[in-house]
Amino acid sequence: MAEKCYRSELIGLFGCPVDENPTVVIMEAAFKALGLNYRYNTMLVYPENLETAVKSLKALHMKGTHITIPHKVSVIPYLDRLTDTAALIGAVNTVYEDHGEMVGENTDGKGFIKSLEDEHIKISGKKAVILGAGGAARAIAVELALAGTRKIIIVNRSPDRGETLVKLINEKTTAHAEFTLWEGCYNVDEDTDILVNCTSIGLYPDTNVPNIDYNTLKFTTVVCDIIPNPLHTRFMAKAQACGCKTLDGFSMLINQAAVSFKLWTGIDAPVEIMKMAMMKENGDL
Ligand code: NDP
């Protein structure tokens, strides 16, 4: 009789609040599909317990964890090291074990880039406009710059965050970045190749759309929304009405999870199965 193993490899999700985060659905579907003896555990970690929780990763022999609000920045001092991109972005959404070390990585922007690549959208030499300058915008701007984007315009309501992100891109990457203060309605330059909504505008149950002049959108601009829920945002519908190709936040969500999955298991994630599992969970199937 073959020797049995009753221990599962453990992955966490540390957040606060975290109860409503559905990532466990796609991860467990992926483990099951590949016959992996892994468990994904959604864990409520209060800020004052974050250090203890991170130390427990080694104590419990865990493969790693996802990190979500409000810990993406505050987790950094408790890790053994960061990848170069996580260090640039200044935030971590994935921790993985590498030769006994707990390494911080950020897969949000990588998931976004993968979504563009899957649709054969060229990044190198292009001009991107990013609405927002929060954590997700930071990850996406850095990854776009590293992927060869020529020019990045950061459009944000509050100048501090926008200018900080522009400085980061200009000082640490080869891309050229500029800041535009978002006051009133924003006109999209006609030579914009990629426009990304990185604000939280439109996230369920919000039905608002970013305040841009949709008449200035050219059909040659690829319009991306990173809002994962709802699947089809009003922002995307308005861009489609202008003839633009669109990309949704759901594919970015799945792709960032897929990158993390590979870091934990060493195996390519079954992306289509993960998509189906989430769509079923959301009642979209
Ligand atoms: P942050 O809170 O860090 O940033 C929010 C950004 O939205 C800021 O730039 C903020 O501007 C801007 N913003 C919010 N409300 C308004 C408004 N009414 N008008 C203009 N600007 C506004 O959030 P994150 O960057 O972490 O997340 C942003 C969104 O991205 C969330 O909805 C999240 O669900 C989604 N997301 C999706 C992922 C995916 O995989 N699809 C992954 C990660 C995030 P200001 O600086 O002026 O406050």
The span from the CA of 224 to the CA of 198, in Å, is 9
In this structure, what token pair is assigned to residue 113?
Answer: 């880039």
Render each residue's pLDDT in the chain as its tens digit; 285 residues. Answer: 678 889 999 999 999 999 989 999 999 999 999 999 999 999 999 999 999 999 999 999 999 999 999 999 999 999 999 999 999 999 999 999 999 999 999 999 999 999 999 999 999 999 999 999 999 999 999 999 999 999 999 999 999 999 999 999 999 999 999 999 999 999 999 999 999 999 999 998 888 999 999 999 999 999 999 998 888 899 999 999 999 999 999 999 999 999 999 999 999 999 999 999 999 998 877
In this structure, what token pair is assigned to residue 152?
Answer: 């990045």
The span from the CA of 137 to the CA of 244, in Å, is 21
Write the pLDDT tens digit of every residue in 125-158.
Answer: 999 999 999 999 999 999 999 999 999 999 999 9
Report pLDDT for 1.
63
Compute and round to an integer the Cα radius of gyration of the chain: 19
Give the Å distance between the CA of 223 and the centre of ligand 1.
Answer: 16
Active site (annotated) includes residue 72: yes
Domains in the chain, start-ordered, CATH in brackets? 9-107+251-282 (3.40.50.10860), 122-244 (3.40.50.720)
Angle between helices 249-265 and 23-34 (to 10 degrees): 50
Q: Which residues contact 241 (CB under 8 A, 6 or more apart)?
A: 214
Q: Of residues 4, 32, 55, 72, which has the active-site annotation?
A: 72
Ligand 1 pocket check for 208: Cβ under 6 Å: no
Report pLDDT for 284.
77
Please report the atom of ligand 1 found closest to the CA of residue 250: 41
- Which residue's CA is the closest to the ligand 1 atom numbered 6? 199
Ligand 1 pocket check for 228: Cβ under 6 Å: yes
Ligand 1 pocket check for 177: Cβ under 6 Å: no
Establish whether 133 is an annotated binding residue. Answer: yes
